Amino acid sequence: MAQQLTAAAPAAASAFRSRSNFTVFWGRFRRNRLAMGALGFLTVIHLVALAAHTLAPHDPTFLDLLDQFADPSREHPLGTDEAGRDVLSRLIVGARVSLLVGLLAMLVSVTVGSIVGSVAGFYGRAADGILMRLTDGMLTIPTFFLALLVLAVFGSSLSKVILVIGFTGWMVVARVVRAEVLRTLPQEFVLAARALGVSDARLLVRHVVPQASASVIVAATLGVAYAILTESALSYLGLGVQPPTPTWGNMLSGAQHYVWTRPQLAVYPGVLIMLCVLSYNVVGDALRDALDPRAGRARLA
Amino acid sequence: MSRYLLVRLLQGIGLLVVVSAVIFLIVHSAPGGPEILNNPDVDPETAKAIARDLGLTDPIIVQYARWVGRAATGSLGRSYQHQVPVITLIRNRLPNTLLLAGTALGVALLVAIPLGVISAVRRYSALDYMATIGAFFGVSIPNFWLGIMLIVLFSVTLGWLPSAGMRTAGVETGLADLLRHLVMPAIVLSTFPLAQLMRYARSSMVEVLSQDYVRTAQAKGLSPRRVLGTHALRNALIPVVTVLGVVTPRLLSGAVITETIFAWPGLGRLAVDAAITRDYPVIMGLTMATAVLVIVSNLLTDVAYVALDPRISLR
């Protein structure tokens, strides 16, 4: 028995060294074909968004009232909209704006959520009580109505849309970070850091919060999906990013008046929103499965 | 039980006070004030007089105290835009929203739970894959876009269903007519909760099925129907009930969009109009109505908990 153990130990150790955490994770993730497809789509759409102004064949805001509702042609591969603007160019530049809002709003959510969650978990007691009440409260109110109200009252702009979506979507991150902080605090390396006289802020930022990164990455990925969906809904109601800046949401808002005659104008942006949100959701779910060792064991059982 | 209800009642009132104060502050700090004061047909002198009449020139604390005082006696003020008491507006439209949201929730539960359970029992079957992928689409599809597409299909192309409103004007108002108007909004509003509840029901059932007590039940020779129905389902539903508490606010948010697409005369559409025209009393009234709905649904969720799980008792 003892012999077996000593014989097995070096082999296990070398196997561990040769397969880094990332390799293990990537090996699991790669097996999920749906998620790989989604990742591929997201890569393409983000590259398109990055190079939007180079790729767009026309100026997406150029009005040509003599060429409204043009059918697809060499000049306009997807035709033109109600103001004679090139639909393909608007979809491409719209990708840039919609994804920018999605990613930045997610960053706001993750920042707010990480701060709330780590402070609540780290300081406990009253801070925890108050912050978690706030989190629960925010989870039980219709946040979309709140976002809509704030934008209607204060007027809408790109940065306000990002902030409003970010500040109504941080609750899941806060809960996740708090749980991870509570799990990490009693561990020895935290005690060691404390014994070395590390300040609270440094302890949190350098040692405790990084432990939550896996869960935060999952929540952040799903958060992008939520943010893109919310932006499109706000823009649809006319309270999101304002024209002439094209986003998929405000393209739909324009297109809905012409669904009886030109339904295709409403199809394109909607399909793109759905595919992006779907891809982020699928990738987020696959990340959760690949990053969570418990999920792996459950599957074996 | 009565002590529990008393505590919940006090908590509810506390929540109403906090929510009303926050929303009051946000709404009343609007640059430019309500839209009726910005009407180009009204000269600035009259606008100032109206603002004074409405008490909008007083300090915000005074305004809030006055609002609370009135609200405590059951008066939520008059709408600036509609010139009728807010209570009347809400009373006229609340049943429509409850009908729509209730139907959507009912459909979501009736489809999601059986589907989730079957998916879990027949894990990795074709049906399970289809349901799982379908659920991904359900949580990803923008509900307003789904609404527009349904209108394109069923109203524009096929001409089967009306695209807007609740009743056909001039036609004898019958139940069939109402149902025809209800179909598309209910589908749109139920999509997200249906997909979400199905995912929870499935994963919860998968977990329960691997528990020892289920194996015990199978081992003592109970029929699969009894194992699933009596032992597994009841335990699997407990986490699903938790999600219900989160689903209600989402339903109300979804109603805002759904009612706007289908011109459904409910609270959601009223909310969009009130927010855009900055109709302060209506916004405050709707905030209170929404908060009460959420509090009541949370209470019902707790009661459902106790009914399902004998380990939990209300205290």
Q: Tens digits of per-residue pLDDT, B41-59?
A: 777 777 777 777 777 777 8
Q: Do B149 and A267 touch (CB under 8 A)?
A: yes
Helix (H, G, I), strand (E, B) or coil at A278: helix
CB contact residues (below 8 A), chain B span 13-32, against chain A: 15, 18-19, 23, 26-27, 29-31
Q: Which of the pair, B192 or A77, is modelled with greater confidence?
A: B192
Task: With a cut of 50, say whether residue A76 has pLDDT above it.
Answer: yes
Q: Do B256 and A260 touch (CB under 8 A)?
A: no
Q: Do A237 and B298 touch (CB under 8 A)?
A: no
pLDDT at residue B17, rounded to an integer: 87
Chain B nearest-CA distance from A252, in A, is 8
Structure tokens at A49: 């968004």
Longest dimension (CA), chain A: 87
- Rounded Cα distance between A293 and A298, Å, is 9
Q: What is the mean pLDDT of residues B278-301?
A: 87
Q: Least CA distance to B199: which residue of chain A?
A: A285
Q: Do B290 and A145 touch (CB under 8 A)?
A: yes
**Which residues lie below 8 Å from residue B96, measured CB to CB, with a gap of 6+?**
B166, B264, B265, B266, B267
DSSP alpha helices (H): ranges in B81-232?
Answer: 86-121, 126-140, 143-150, 175-209, 212-219, 224-226
Predicted interface score ipTM higher than 0.85? no
- The per-residue pLDDT for range B72-111, each reduced to its tens digit, is 888 888 888 888 899 999 999 999 999 999 999 999 999 9
Structure tokens at A260: 């009886």
> By percentage, how much of chain A surpasses pLDDT 70?
88
Chain B nearest-CA distance from A150, in A, is 7
Structure tokens at B289: 């109505």
For A169, B150, B154, the CA distances from B287, given in Å and listed in that order, are: 19, 30, 34
Q: What are phi and psi of B304, to 5 degrees?
A: -60, -40
- Rounded Cα distance between B33 and B50, Å, is 12
β-bridge partners, B78: B85
A19 pLDDT tier (thresholds 50, 70, 90): low
B173 pLDDT tier (thresholds 50, 70, 90): low
Asked if B281 contacts B78 with a C-beta cutoff of 8 angstroms, the reply is: yes
Q: Least CA distance to B267: which residue of chain A?
A: A145
Query: Which residue has 């499935």 as its token pair?
Result: B202
> Which of B236, B230, B223 has the alpha carbon at shortest distance from B112?
B236
pLDDT at residue B140, rounded to an integer: 92
Q: What is the mean pLDDT of residues A210-225?
A: 89
- Rounded Cα distance between B88 and B78, Å, is 9
Strand ranges (DSSP E) for A70-167? Answer: none
Q: Do A149 and B23 touch (CB under 8 A)?
A: yes
Describe the crossing of helices A143-154 and B2-28 by its angle, rounded to 10 degrees. Answer: 20
Helix (H, G, I), strand (E, B) or coil at A259: coil
Q: What is the mean pLDDT of residues B195-216?
A: 88
Mean pLDDT value across chain A: 83
- Rounded Cα distance between A278 and A38, Å, is 8
- Rounded Cα distance between B121 and B117, Å, is 6
Count of all residues that appear for chain B in the document: 315
pLDDT at residue B297, rounded to an integer: 84
- Rounded Cα distance between B27 and B33, Å, is 9
- Among B245, B256, B283, whose Cβ lies nearest the Cβ of A140? B245
A contact set with B (CB within 8 A): 34, 137, 139-145, 148-150, 152-155, 225, 229, 232-233, 236-239, 252, 255-256, 259-260, 263, 266-267, 269-270, 273-274, 277-278, 281-282, 285, 298, 301
Chain A nearest-CA distance from B59, in A, is 19
- Rounded Cα distance between A77 and A87, Å, is 8
Q: Do B30 and A153 touch (CB under 8 A)?
A: yes
Task: With a cut of 80, say whether residue B37 has pLDDT above it.
Answer: no
Measured in whole angstroms, how far is the alpha carbon of residue A108 from the centre of its chain? 11
Instruction: Tally Cβ neighbours within 10 Å of residue A16.
Output: 11
Q: Is B300 on the interface with A (CB under 8 A)?
A: no
DSSP for B265-299, please give it.
Answer: -SHHHHHHHHHHHT-HHHHHHHHHHHHHHHHHHHH
Count of all residues that appear for chain A in the document: 301
- Rounded Cα distance between A247 and A156, Å, is 14
Asked if B37 contacts B49 with a C-beta cutoff of 8 angstroms, the reply is: no
- Among B246, B249, B283, whose Cβ lies nearest the Cβ of A149? B283
For A164, A296, B108, B233, B240, the CA distances from B308, given in Å and listed in that order, are: 38, 30, 19, 10, 11
Asked if A78 contacts A128 with a C-beta cutoff of 8 angstroms, the reply is: no
Structure tokens at B263: 């011109």
- Among A142, A152, A259, whose Cβ lies nearest the Cβ of B253? A142
Residues of B in contact with A140 (CB under 8 A): 245-246, 248-249, 294, 298
Strand ranges (DSSP E) for chain A? Answer: none
Q: Is B275 on the interface with A (CB under 8 A)?
A: yes
**Which residues lie below 8 Å from residue B4, measured CB to CB, with a gap of 6+?**
B314, B315
Q: Do B144 and A252 touch (CB under 8 A)?
A: yes
Q: What are phi and psi of A86, to 5 degrees?
A: -70, 120
pLDDT at residue B171, rounded to an integer: 65
Burial pattern B223-253, b for ≥16 Cβ within 10 A else e, equals eeeebbeebbbebbbbebbebbbebbbbbbb
Q: Is B245 on the interface with A (CB under 8 A)?
A: yes
> Which of B262, B76, B251, B33 has the alpha carbon at shortest distance from B166?
B262
Torsion A8-A11-A17-A23 (CA) sign: negative
pLDDT at residue A26, rounded to an integer: 85
- Rounded Cα distance between B281 and B298, Å, is 26
Task: With a cut of 50, say whether residue A8 has pLDDT above it.
Answer: no
For A30, A111, A210, B190, B229, the CA distances from B205, given in Å and listed in that order, are: 27, 34, 33, 22, 11
Q: Do B26 and A153 touch (CB under 8 A)?
A: yes
pLDDT at residue A301, rounded to an integer: 28
pLDDT at residue B76, rounded to an integer: 83
**Which residues lie below 8 Å from residue A80, measured CB to CB, with a gap of 6+?**
A64, A67, A68, A69, A70, A86, A87
Asked if A174 contacts A120 with a C-beta cutoff of 8 angstroms, the reply is: yes
> Which of B258, B261, B260 has the alpha carbon at shortest distance from B272?
B260
Q: What share of chain B is helix, strand, coil (3-state, %, to 5)?
A: 75, 0, 25
- The per-residue pLDDT for range B217-238, each reduced to its tens digit, is 888 888 888 888 878 888 888 8
Q: Which of the pair, B277 or A260, is modelled with greater confidence?
A: B277
- Rounded Cα distance between A39 and A37, Å, is 5
Chain B nearest-CA distance from A137, in A, is 9
- The per-residue pLDDT for range B105-158, each reduced to its tens digit, is 999 999 999 999 999 988 889 999 999 999 999 999 999 899 999 998 898 888
Task: With a cut of 60, say whether residue A15 has pLDDT above it.
Answer: no
Q: Counting runs of H as helices and runs of E as strands, what totals does chain A give?
A: 15, 0
Measured in whole angstroms, how far is the alpha carbon of residue A251 from the centre of its chain? 21
Task: With a cut of 80, say whether residue A2 has pLDDT above it.
Answer: no
Q: What is the mean pLDDT of residues A165-169?
A: 93
Torsion A205-A210-A211-A212 (CA) sign: positive
- Rounded Cα distance between B114 and B132, Å, is 13
